[in-house]
Amino acid sequence: MGSSGEEQRAFSIFDQWAKQIARVIDSESTLAAKTSSHAGMIGNAREAIIRNILQRFIPGGYEIGTGQIIDHLGKFSRQIDIVISRKDFPAILRFDGSKLYTVESVLASIEVKSNLDASSLEEALENCYSVGDLTFALSGPIEEIAKKRGLRHYKNGFVHDNPIETARWECNFRPASYIIGIKGYKSNCNSLKSAIYKWGSRIIDNRRSLELRHFPA
């Protein structure tokens, strides 16, 4: 009982903290909107707000930027609003201030949308898809872990006889993707689920692969 009570208190504290952070984001985003009438500038300001908040909490070995992600096969992601990456990996600084990151260096990618509606949700999902579609370079330690979990080599990765185990493995060694809607989704949860389902159906109709790794966390 004591452990359960402590867990509930810990969750309550975290919940209050998360709500407070959400209020900070909302108030600063409102201020950004009031001080500019240009949609692009407002969007950039809101991305900067999220980056500044994240910077307070990420470990010292990581940094926050923006740009594209590339894998060892030369495949690029789309342009990503916020990239959290390891400092001990090289990244190419481009002329516009964004960077080109190797997928192995990236902890997470984040898409920030001022107004998350069906159109902006689809764009964000496509950006997340482009990150999930990258291939992680295999190394000795990773191969050893895969063998211990009963996986075998297949093309540029590993598979398990159980498809669920394959999906879990693919998510373990890939950047987690997130979507942040400043104003949130304006419709109810059923509308949100319907929009995601329609996006997934279009992916399949266009004969593109759709796996767990392609979805945001």
In this predicted model, what pLDDT tens digit does every residue of 18-42 receive, in sequence order? 777 777 777 776 776 666 665 666 6
pTM of the model: 0.79
In a domain, 46, yes or no: yes
Spatial separation of the C-alpha atoms in residues 127 and 79, rounded to whole Å: 7
Task: Categorise residue 155: left if φ over 0, alpha if ψ from -120 to 50, beta otherwise.
Answer: left
Burial class of 161 by CB neighbour count within 10 A (0 to 12, 13 to 18, 19+): exposed
Number of domains in the chain: 1
Best CA proximity match to 112, nearest among 210, 34, 25: 25
In a domain, 71, yes or no: yes
In a domain, 79, yes or no: yes
In a domain, 147, yes or no: no
In a domain, 70, yes or no: yes
Query: Which domain, by its residues, includes 198?
Result: 2-136+174-214
Flag whether pLDDT at 55 surpasses 50: yes
In a domain, 154, yes or no: no
In a domain, 142, yes or no: no
